Amino acid sequence: MPITKVKPGQKIKLKDIDPDDTGQFDNKEMAKDILAQNIERMAELQNILYAENKHALLIILQAMDAGGKDGAIRKIMSGINPQGVRVTSFKRPTEEELAHDFLWRIHRAAPRQGMIGIFNRSHYEDVLVVRVHNLVSTSVWQQRYEHINNFERLLADSGVTILKFYLHISKEEQKERLLARLDQPHKRWKFDPRDLDERKLWDDYMEAFEAVLSKCSTKVAPWHIVPANKKWYRNLIISEAIVKTLEGLELKYPEPMTDLDGIVIE
C-alpha cells in the first residue's frame, strides 16, 4: 500500500505525494472486508497488550483542519475496548501548561504499559502553529525538533512504540469538507470561522509540515504520510499499519500465577 514511511533525514516535498492515491483499490467496497478484518484483529491484539502489560503503543495523528483525525479515530478504533485506550486532544495550552516546558503536558499524557494512547494533535503543534504564527522566536522553535526527537527516544527506550501519521489531504478536499460542515446541519457545530484564517496560511503550513516530516522521522519514531482524500482508504492503511506494528511486538498472554487445572469452584 502506498503509505510513505519517511526515512531518517529524508527531505519531503508534499506536492510530490498524491493525496488521492488509493493504491490497488478502486473503491470503498474493495477495501471494506479488509478494514473489518483489521479492526477485528486490532481488538484481539489490544486485549493481549492490555493483559501482558509490558508494552505501550502511542499513535500520533497530525493534519490540516478537516484532515480527518477525528473520523480516523472513530472508525479505526471502533472495536477497541475503551478501558485499554486513551485519546488526548491537545488544544491551545492553558496558563498552567504555558508555565512549563512545551513537552510537559505531552509527557503527562503518554500511555502507560498495557495501553494504547492516541494523540489528536500533539507536541508537533509547537513547531507547526507556533512557527506559522510566530508565537515564539525562530531560535526557540528551531531547537524543538531536537527536543522532540530526544523526547520520543526516551519514550521508546521506556517501552513505548510510536506510530506517527500525517493525514495528507489537498487544499481542494479541505474546501469540500469545510463546505460540508456548513451545508449539513449535524456537522455545523464543527465549523469554526478561524479555520478559514488558517486556510489562508496553507502554503506556510505545508512548509512547516515538510520540516517536521524531514527533521523528526527517526528509526524509533518514523513518520507515515497517509493519502487521506479518500476517508475509507485512510482508515484502511492506518489500520494495516497498527495491526502490523502490534503483531511485531510478539505479544503473549501472561502465564497464570498458579496451576488452574486443579481448582474447584463450589
Nearest to 210 by CA among 78, 69, 12: 12
4-248 sits in which CATH class? alpha beta
Per-residue model confidence (pLDDT) at position 259: 77
Per-residue model confidence (pLDDT) at position 1: 54
DSSP secondary structure string for all residues of 42-99: HHHHHHHHHHH-S-EEEEEEEESTTSSHHHHHHHHTTTS-GGGEEEEE--SPPHHHHT
Decide if 84 contacts 47 (C-beta within 8 A).
Answer: yes
Q: What radius of gyration do the chain's Cα atoms show?
A: 20
Please state the pTM of the whole predicted model. Answer: 0.94
**CA 189, CA 197: separation in Å to the nearest integer?**
18
Per-residue model confidence (pLDDT) at position 190: 83
Nearest to 109 by CA among 73, 60, 63, 149: 60
pLDDT tens string for the chain (266 positions)? 568 999 999 999 999 999 999 999 999 999 999 999 999 999 999 999 999 999 999 999 999 999 999 999 999 999 999 999 999 999 999 999 999 999 999 999 999 999 999 999 999 999 999 999 999 999 999 999 999 999 999 999 999 999 999 999 999 999 999 999 988 888 888 888 888 999 999 999 999 999 999 999 999 999 999 999 999 999 999 999 999 999 999 999 998 877 777 778 88
**What length is written for the chain?**
266
Per-residue model confidence (pLDDT) at position 176: 96
